[in-house]
Amino acid sequence: MCNQLTIQQVKDMLLHIADVLIQKEDELGEIDRHIGDGDHGTGMATGARAIQKELKEQESTSVNQVFRQSGIAMMESMGGASGVLFSSLFLALGKIEPEAPEIDVASFSDGVSQAVKDIKIRGRAGLGDKTMLDALEPASVALIENKNSTFVEALAAAKSAAQQGVENTKGYVAKFGRAKFLGERSLGYQDPGATSIAMIINEMYQFVKEEFK
Amino acid sequence: MCNQLTIQQVKDMLLHIADVLIQKEDELGEIDRHIGDGDHGTGMATGARAIQKELKEQESTSVNQVFRQSGIAMMESMGGASGVLFSSLFLALGKIEPEAPEIDVASFSDGVSQAVKDIKIRGRAGLGDKTMLDALEPASVALIENKNSTFVEALAAAKSAAQQGVENTKGYVAKFGRAKFLGERSLGYQDPGATSIAMIINEMYQFVKEEFK
Amino acid sequence: MKKILNQRETIITDMLKGFVKAEKDHIAVSKENDRVLYRKEKQEGKVGIVIGGGSGHEPLFFGLLGKNLADAVAVGNVFAAPTPQTVLAAIHEANQGEGVICLFGNYAGDVLNFDLAKEMADTEGIAVVNLAVSDDIASAPKEYQVDRRGIAGDLFVIKEVAAAAAKGYSLERCQRIAQECNQRTYSIGVGIKSGTNPLNGKPSFILNDDEIEYGLGIHGEPGIEKMPIVSAKDLIKKMYLALDQEIKAYVEKEVIVCVNGLGSTTLMELYIITNELIDLLENKGFLVMDTVVGNFCTTQEMAGFSLTVQILTEELKELYQMEATSPHYFHKEGY
Amino acid sequence: MKKILNQRETIITDMLKGFVKAEKDHIAVSKENDRVLYRKEKQEGKVGIVIGGGSGHEPLFFGLLGKNLADAVAVGNVFAAPTPQTVLAAIHEANQGEGVICLFGNYAGDVLNFDLAKEMADTEGIAVVNLAVSDDIASAPKEYQVDRRGIAGDLFVIKEVAAAAAKGYSLERCQRIAQECNQRTYSIGVGIKSGTNPLNGKPSFILNDDEIEYGLGIHGEPGIEKMPIVSAKDLIKKMYLALDQEIKAYVEKEVIVCVNGLGSTTLMELYIITNELIDLLENKGFLVMDTVVGNFCTTQEMAGFSLTVQILTEELKELYQMEATSPHYFHKEGY
Ligand SMILES: Nc1ncnc2c1ncn2[C@@H]1O[C@H](COP(=O)(O)OP(=O)(O)O)[C@@H](O)[C@H]1O
Ligand SMILES: Nc1ncnc2c1ncn2[C@@H]1O[C@H](COP(=O)(O)OP(=O)(O)O)[C@@H](O)[C@H]1O
Ligand SMILES: [Mg+2]
Ligand SMILES: [Mg+2]
Ligand SMILES: [Mg+2]
Ligand SMILES: [Mg+2]
């Protein structure tokens, strides 16, 4: 069984994720409304539309380029905290050496680890601060642990880890982002950014499951 | 049976009217909301409170003075269209010659006729223009017709005429005041100023009925 | 009603106190009447400018007390014209021996009270001219222009007449300018959601979620018709067409424009509206010399807006361009 | 949601187009990035002033482009910080070789995007200083002043830092002033009724009819606590006591005050509030040098307001008193 994603597959996967984010606009907005300013859904949907436009209009000669194009599309269209931070995820995946027409689980996992590092440097947040990192970091750990498994297995583990991470954010007091000003009042609510991360990873999993079945 | 109102009786009558206008604030406001700006109740209540303050604090040496004090209190406190026009009613009653410690039906009726004239000059409106005049003018006619009757009889006739006048305003298109801009849309609604006039005359009637029973 | 106030009996007094404290160096309360505020700095030998009307439309009227603007303001109760005594006191504060011009919106209450005040001032030998602004084209047809009610057009009339007074023009000339400037000023408004009268906590009108009131007055008086809410483009086109009927015949093509918010319509919407309006005017060959956008004449927290267009003459243009400064309106060429 | 707009996709563009049309003589769109506006008139050899943030708070930020005020503005989506590319383009428009100072509210999104833009500008050899305004005392305790979010205090910081730049001060000196001025600026706000986000038509929060949100942020973020609505007197006393904790230790007693409306709170209420606030400040021995009242930093049509107090130094006072003119804010001594 094949265990690499081609340029076209990565494109299709990102287009699929974008579709789902656009569908989930209201749901994500609702979550942000409780502890933030209610625009997380709109932000992600804006980024998703920019990805779709970019990937449909532009050719890509490597998997890295697909990720970079997506990251730049998000950064240039979204703004807000998530514009910088979510684009960091895809930009990190775009930086994997060497430029290649496909990507395997190990490279993908390294890319996500790099994204965790970049996001920590940019945003200065850490695990337990009730941010997207609470979903992304456990997902990244699960991916590294499954470096040598299939995409389906690795993403299944990552997906569960991310979902658990979202669950955990309900018990955290926010220290970064808009919710940090809420103190104890942020308890009980899940973090919107973490929710998006879990969604994205879940859709990656759904995509590879279909693709490799 | 006595058929004159003394200084004290006129004072009591005006204080009673003021009480009722204050109670009816919301009702009058509601009527003004349909075709005007909704403040007629507040305006009349403001004038009523000013009358109460004035009459309770100041001595009066003639019936005329009581009316004048009330008119000035309204004019200085209310503002708006009704501030000028309703004070005209009481100021006209204050102008009856000679200054006297009591007032009979004939003088009272003459005073009201004078008020109708003054209000017409000031406001340039006439019968059928959907204003307070549609209640005041028929009331004035009824009073003159009953010049030689008792206060109770004369005011009973005036009250009915005024009420009929209010009813009639529903069928008129407004030509003066805020409702004039409404055109046909003012049809079906009664005029707030006319409603106040009918209320005032009705309370005069209720007062004399009690007083002379 | 959710408003931040103390007792409803003192809202006007509390508001005026706050305003005078905020503007303490420039504005004071009249000793004769506490519903009258005046500008402390006097410019000698000019016609006095009195403005006024009911409260509830802030920043109109008191927000226009200022340099080359109004000298005194007569403040009424909420949505009720000031009393004759109040107007007279404002006339006293503004009078410097050259006569006084009073500018107010054309409503029965204002006309009645200002007319009475003028009569009282006449007996004191003070020359007073009253001008009722009548810019709202929705309120009466062209043939009855002087019967129209006054809405946001107040702003341009006050600006220009006050400039004429500041230039030292005579009372007669100021009056002629006031008439001309009023005649050349056309507005139309729509209501989207009612404000509440702070005295009784009641909305002025009720609209369905998809309805707007076309042509309404600034006291929440009903307008021409209720209509379904449409896009900014379609709504402004409809309003513009009504304005165009009034302005198309002029040979002068230079105009000034005001997009006025009634209270809670956002500046974002007002600029979206501005974008449509200016396009339409320019397409019809008008030259928009200046545009002001903001809340000048409000109806409490009503959602809605009005469009005002004034057809300039050379004289009006010069007056409009004069520098002017007040707490809530200013004009400065080139910044 | 009842708002006057075309499609939600174009609200920012339509708004900016309308603004530029209204201010056509003074303000233009950047050729590099259509989310950047700049003031056409350049004052040679001064530090450039860039301001910016999410949309939806109009007139902030673009309404402060003007003389002795901001040179360029970076406009974000509704409630979302502008992208790094947008900020960089604004830096380009404002830069005149003396460096650029960027002023924005202290929010994660703004800090991230402005920091990235600064890094990009650094590689181009443009000296950029970022200052995140952090005046909202409700958002973090005194020990974490730099972590506080930025609300209406933006106004005073922009006013004074821009004046410093206009006086020709160096980038270092402007930076020092910006820090000092931010440190001496304290605000607190309350929400009374939510506005709606024009993109999704949803209110930011829901309050009962008798409830207010004490200490809320200008994006509708929840505040310190929900509390029952009380009289203006009691509410302002509570808010003042919180402010007093921050300002009482200063030896300087001269202050400037801003009473800022969040959208649909009436000017009547804002002046009633002003009346209470100035009394309290004066009773505590403060000298109120100037007070500005109006809608400067809004949250769509949210009902609510904020109070801002800045403790002046001689230097800040001089900067504050410098004349300034922009479409939605001006300062002029003596009128
Ligand atoms: N410093 C940070 N580090 C990591 N993630 C952050 C940080 N600040 C905010 N976030 C993430 O961004 C999310 C909010 O995104 P969004 O609502 O789109 O932006 P904004 O907060 O500008 O409105 C939060 O839920 C959180 O996960
Ligand atoms: N020109 C006029 N002549 C006679 N009555 C008038 C005139 N204009 C208005 N009114 C009366 O005033 C009433 C409205 O009073 P009110 O609501 O208190 O004042 P405003 O119209 O200033 O809000 C109308 O219902 C009408 O009866
Ligand atoms: Mg958000
Ligand atoms: Mg009325
Ligand atoms: Mg009224
Ligand atoms: Mg946001």
Ligand 2 center to residue C14 CA distance, Å? Answer: 27
The fraction of chain C above a pLDDT of 70, given in percent, is: 100
Q: Which residue in the list D26, D92, D219, D331 is annotated as catalytic?
A: D219
Q: Is the domain of C119 the same as that of C161?
A: yes
Q: Tell me, yes or no, if D205 comes closer than 8 A to chain C by beta carbon.
A: no
Average confidence (pLDDT) over C3-31: 97
What pLDDT band is residue D78 in, cutting at 50, 70 and 90?
A: very high
Cβ of B80 and C80 within 8 Å?
yes
By the CB criterion, residues less than 5 angstroms from ion ligand 4 are B 32, 36-37, 39-40
Domain assignment present for residue C98? The answer is yes
**Closest ligand 2 atom, residue B132 Cα:** 27
Q: Is the domain of D174 the same as that of D302?
A: no
Q: Name the interface residues of B facing C (CB cutoff 8 Å).
A: 25-26, 29-30, 33, 35-39, 41-43, 46, 75-85, 122-123, 176-182, 185
Neighbours of chain B (3+ CB pairs under 8 A): C
Q: Tell me, yes or no, if D21 comes closer than 8 A to chain C by beta carbon.
A: yes
DSSP code for A4: E
Q: Is the domain of C287 the same as that of C200?
A: yes
Q: State the alpha helices, DSSP H only, in B24-150.
A: 25-35, 40-57, 63-77, 80-94, 105-123, 133-145
Residues near ligand 1 with C-beta < 6 Å? A 32, 36-37, 39-40, 43, 80-82, 85, 119, 123-125, 131-133, 176-178, 191-194; D 80-81, 108-109
| The pLDDT of residue D198 | 94
- With CA atoms as reference, the chain D residue closest to C71 would be D335
pLDDT at D272 over 90: yes
Ligand 4 center to residue B39 CA distance, Å? Answer: 4
Ligand 1 center to residue C39 CA distance, Å? Answer: 50
The fraction of chain D above a pLDDT of 70, given in percent, is: 100
Domain assignment present for residue D3? The answer is no
Which residues in chain D are closer than 8 Å to A175, comparing Cβ atoms?
Answer: none
- With CA atoms as reference, the chain C residue closest to D272 would be C15
Residue with the larger pLDDT of the pair B12 and D219 = B12
Q: Is the domain of C93 the same as that of C241?
A: no
Atom 18 in ligand 1: residue holding the nearest Cα:
A40
Residue where a domain stops, chosen among D165, D183, D201:
D183
ipTM over 0.90: yes
Atom 15 in ligand 2: residue holding the nearest Cα:
B82
What pLDDT band is residue A2 in, cutting at 50, 70 and 90?
A: low
Name which of A83, A148, A89 is nearest A114 in CA terms.
A89
Residue where a domain stops, chosen among C183, C201, C216:
C183
Q: What 3 state SS string does chain C have?
A: CCCCCCCHHHHHHHHHHHHHHHCCCCEEECCCCCCEEEECCCCCCCCEEEEEEEECCCCCCHHHECECCECEEEEEEECCCCCHHHHHHHHHHHCCCCCEEEEEECCHHHHHHHHHHHHHHHHCCCCEEEEEECCECCCCCHHHHHHCCCCCCHHHHHHHHHHHHHCCCCHHHHHHHHHHHHHCEEEEEEEEECCEECCCCEECCCCCCCEEEECCCCCCCCCCEEEECCCHHHHHHHHHHHHHHHHCCCCCCEEEEEEEECECCCHHHHHHHHHHHHHHHHHCCCEEEEEEEECCCCECEEEEEEEEEEECCHHHHHHHHCCEECCCCEECCCC
Residues near ligand 2 with C-beta < 6 Å? B 32, 36-37, 39-40, 43, 80-82, 85, 119, 123-125, 131-133, 176-178, 191-194; C 80-81, 108-109
Atom 2 in ligand 1: residue holding the nearest Cα:
A123
Q: Tell me, yes or no, if C308 comes closer than 8 A to chain D by beta carbon.
A: no
Q: Is the domain of D89 the same as that of D200?
A: no
The fraction of chain C above a pLDDT of 90, given in percent, is: 92
What pLDDT band is residue A77 in, cutting at 50, 70 and 90?
A: very high
Cβ of A79 and D77 within 8 Å?
yes
Tens digit of each residue's pLDDT (9 = 90 or more) over C292-321 = 999 999 999 999 999 999 999 999 999 999
φ and ψ at residue D19, rounded to 5 degrees: -65, -45
Residue where a domain stops, chosen among D136, D162, D183:
D183
How confident is the prediction for chain A on average, in pLDDT? 95
Q: Is the domain of C12 the same as that of C60?
A: yes
Range of the domain at C161: 8-183
Average confidence (pLDDT) over C200-224: 86
Residue D111 belongs to domain with CATH number: 3.40.50.10440
Q: Is the domain of C150 the same as that of C237?
A: no
Average confidence (pLDDT) over A27-52: 94
How far from the centroid of its chain's Cα atoms is residue B177's Cα? 17
Residue with the larger pLDDT of the pair B180 and B63 = B63
Q: Is the domain of D47 the same as that of D148?
A: yes
pLDDT at C88 over 90: yes
Give the residue numbers of C marked as catalytic: 57, 219
What pLDDT band is residue B179 in, cutting at 50, 70 and 90?
A: confident
CA distance A112 to chain D (A): 20
CA distance D215 to chain A (A): 10
Cβ of C79 and B181 within 8 Å?
no
Domain assignment present for residue C1? The answer is no
- With CA atoms as reference, the chain D residue closest to C334 would be D26
Q: Is the domain of D31 the same as that of D155?
A: yes
How far is residue C255's CA from residue C210's CA, in Å, rounded to a whole number? 33
Average confidence (pLDDT) over C147-153: 95
Domain assignment present for residue D99? The answer is yes
How far is residue B191's CA from residue B177's CA, in Å, rounded to a whole number? 10
Domains: count for chain C: 2
Q: Is the domain of D172 the same as that of D216?
A: no
Candidates D4, D269, D292; nearest CB to C272? D4
Atom 6 in ligand 1: residue holding the nearest Cα:
A131
Residues 6+ apart with CB under 8 A from C311: C184, C247, C250, C252, C254, C255
CA distance D79 to chain A (A): 7
- With CA atoms as reference, the chain C residue closest to B177 would be C108
Q: Is the domain of D113 the same as that of D225?
A: no
Cβ of C202 and B80 within 8 Å?
no
| The pLDDT of residue C224 | 85
Ligand 1 center to residue A123 CA distance, Å? Answer: 9
Torsional class of C294: left (φ above 0), alpha (ψ -120 to 50), beta (otherwise): left
Domain assignment present for residue C99? The answer is yes
Residue with the larger pLDDT of the pair B175 and D268 = D268
Residues 6+ apart with CB under 8 A from C90: C30, C33, C36, C38, C50, C52, C72, C73, C74, C82, C102
Which residues in chain C are closer than 8 Å to D328, comparing Cβ atoms?
Answer: 267, 294
Average confidence (pLDDT) over D170-189: 98
Q: State the alpha helices, DSSP H only, in chain D.
A: 11-22, 84-94, 108-123, 154-166, 171-183, 232-247, 267-283, 314-321
Atom 17 in ligand 1: residue holding the nearest Cα:
A40
pLDDT at D279 over 80: yes
Ligand 2: residue of B75, B120, B132, B140 to mutate (most ligand atoms within 8 A of CB) is: B132
Domains of chain A: 4-211 (1.25.40.340)
Q: Which of residues 75-114 of C touch B (CB under 8 A)?
A: 76-86, 107-109, 112-113
Ligand 6 center to residue D82 CA distance, Å? Answer: 10
Residue D209 belongs to domain with CATH number: 3.30.1180.20
Ligand 4 center to residue D291 CA distance, Å? Answer: 34
Ligand 1: residue of A44, A131, A134, A137 to mutate (most ligand atoms within 8 A of CB) is: A131
pLDDT at B177 over 90: no
Candidates B75, B77, B81; nearest CB to C109? B81
Candidates B38, B81, B85; nearest CB to C202? B38
| The pLDDT of residue C76 | 97
By the CB criterion, residues less than 5 angstroms from ion ligand 6 are A 37, 39, 80; D 79-80
Domain assignment present for residue C2? The answer is no
Candidates C76, C139, C199; nearest CB to B181? C139
Q: Tell me, yes or no, if D205 comes closer than 8 A to chain A by beta carbon.
A: yes
Tens digit of each residue's pLDDT (9 = 90 or more) over D296-327 = 999 999 999 999 999 999 999 999 999 999 99
Ligand 2: residue of C107, C113, C197 to mutate (most ligand atoms within 8 A of CB) is: C107
Domain assignment present for residue D38? The answer is yes
Residue A147 parent element (H or E): none
Domain assignment present for residue C88? The answer is yes
Q: Do chains D and B touch (3 or more CB pairs under 8 A)?
A: no
| The pLDDT of residue B2 | 67
Q: Which of residues 243-282 of C touch D (CB under 8 A)?
A: 259, 263-276, 278-279
How confident is the prediction for chain D on average, in pLDDT? 96
Q: Is the domain of C278 the same as that of C206?
A: yes
